[in-house]
């Protein structure tokens, strides 16, 4: 059995979860632009994650060296605080939060040359900034995979009374989206020796999010199973079900953190195989449509508020279907 946690970090901005815990209440108003304060918040978050004891953590809205979050490599620092060797960040875009965003040359943004503005980074003596998804794993990772999922269309809105004036209009571009996947070894004799797990954050428009989800799952099916897609999909259970891809695990609202009423953060796995009469279910495993890899089921699940974010985390304990 393994435990998986998915959490939208919201760049580690202290959230409602900080206020509701007496141990973290002093951090509720922390100014994380200050590196020392940002590290203190990360230390508190690492302690909360360690208490939940997941084996794998899928993160979204992760900052890499952004000024608004103390210039810290958030995924790397969290992995260090947890004592985990295996971790990876994948940038949806490179650049500052406010400024010229661009597609990275390499999504990890580990080195200056992973960004087109490498000479600038070399002069400044620090690596490129970015924003994206990450995976932290207590278990060994065999391989990493990144898939770009595109962005939605730009929108032009009118905000002034003078129709003839360019200043009366606002052009808003959609955020680029990516999926980071890892093939992770599962030690012991638990019924499966590896899992392919992915972390993603989809568009806020339901139609675009549905297309991105289909593309993400199509990519996952090219990798060995069993598979798990975790992340903030910006869709409720009904929207996810309407796409016809994957099978949800666990339940419980995850947004907003101060009064959760919607489940936008999901854990999805391989669908049930189809029987000869076209019905899905465990009984179909004996049919010709039986999967080559084990199927997963959740034996326990829940949600958990953390010191950061406007989301609560979604977790599940997974084991192969007998």
Cβ atoms of 13 and 63 closer than 8 Å: no
pLDDT at 100: 78
CATH hierarchy code of domain 2-320: 3.60.10.10
Mean pLDDT of 57-83: 97
Q: pTM of this prediction?
A: 0.89
pLDDT at 278: 47
Token pair recorded at residue 296: 């997963």
Give the contacts of 257 (CB within 8 A, at least 6 positions apart).
15, 16, 17, 305, 309, 310, 311, 312
Question: For the packed helices 74-82 and 35-52, what is the interaxial angle rounded to 10 degrees?
Answer: 50
Domain residue ranges in the chain: 2-320
pLDDT at 156: 55
How crowded is the C-beta side of 72, counted as CA atoms within 13 Å?
25
Q: Is the pLDDT of residue 303 over 50?
A: yes
Give the pLDDT confidence of 139-168 residue by residue, as tens digits: 999 999 999 998 766 555 566 666 667 666
- The percentage of residues in the chain with a pLDDT greater than 90, rounded to a whole number, is 68
The one-character DSSP state at 274 is: B
d(CA 156, CA 151): 16
β-pair type (227-232, 265-269):
antiparallel
Tally of CB atoms within 10 A around 190: 13
pLDDT at 287: 47
Give the pLDDT confidence of 160-196 residue by residue, as tens digits: 666 667 666 554 556 889 999 999 999 887 678 999 9
Largest CA distance in the chain: 70
Give the pLDDT confidence of 241-265 residue by residue, as tens digits: 999 999 999 999 999 999 999 999 9
d(CA 55, CA 46): 13
Q: Is the pLDDT of residue 111 over 90?
A: no
d(CA 116, CA 112): 9
Q: Where are the alpha helices (DSSP H) in the chain?
A: 16-19, 35-52, 74-82, 118-124, 206-220, 237-243
């Amino acid at each position: 059995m393994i435990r998986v946690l998915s959490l939208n970090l919201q760049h580690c901005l202290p959230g409602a979860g900080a206020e509701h815990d007496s141990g973290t209440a002093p951090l509720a108003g922390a100014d994380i632009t200050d590196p020392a304060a940002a590290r203190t918040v990360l230390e508190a978050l690492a302690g909360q994650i360690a208490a939940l004891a997941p084996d794998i953590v899928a993160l979204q809205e992760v900052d890499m060296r952004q000024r608004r979050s103390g210039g810290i490599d958030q995924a790397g620092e969290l992995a260090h605080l947890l004592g985990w060797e295996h971790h990876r960040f994948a940038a949806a875009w490179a650049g500052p939060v406010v400024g010229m965003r661009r597609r990275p040359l390499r999504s990890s943004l580990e080195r200056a040359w992973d960004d087109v503005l490498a000479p600038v980074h070399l002069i400044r003596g620090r690596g490129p900034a970015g924003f994206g998804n990450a995976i932290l794993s207590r278990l060994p990772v065999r391989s990493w995979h990144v898939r770009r999922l595109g962005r939605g269309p730009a929108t032009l809105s009118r905000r002034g009374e003078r129709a003839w004036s360019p200043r009366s209009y606002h052009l808003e571009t959609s955020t680029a989206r990516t999926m980071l996947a890892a093939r992770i070894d599962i030690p012991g004799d638990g019924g499966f020796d590896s899992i392919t797990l992915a972390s993603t954050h989809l568009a806020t428009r339901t139609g675009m999010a549905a297309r991105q989800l289909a593309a993400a799952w199509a990519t996952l099916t090219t990798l060995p199973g069993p598979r798990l897609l975790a992340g903030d999909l910006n869709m409720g259970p009904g929207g996810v079900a309407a796409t016809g891809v994957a099978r949800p695990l666990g339940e419980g609202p995850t947004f907003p953190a101060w009064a959760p009423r919607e489940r936008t953060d999901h854990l999805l796995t391989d669908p049930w195989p189809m029987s000869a009469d076209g019905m899905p279910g465990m009984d179909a495993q004996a049919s010709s449509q039986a999967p080559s890899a084990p199927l997963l089921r959740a034996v326990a699940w829940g949600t958990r508020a953390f010191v950061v974010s406007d989301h609560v985390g979604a977790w599940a304990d997974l084991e192969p279907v007998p």
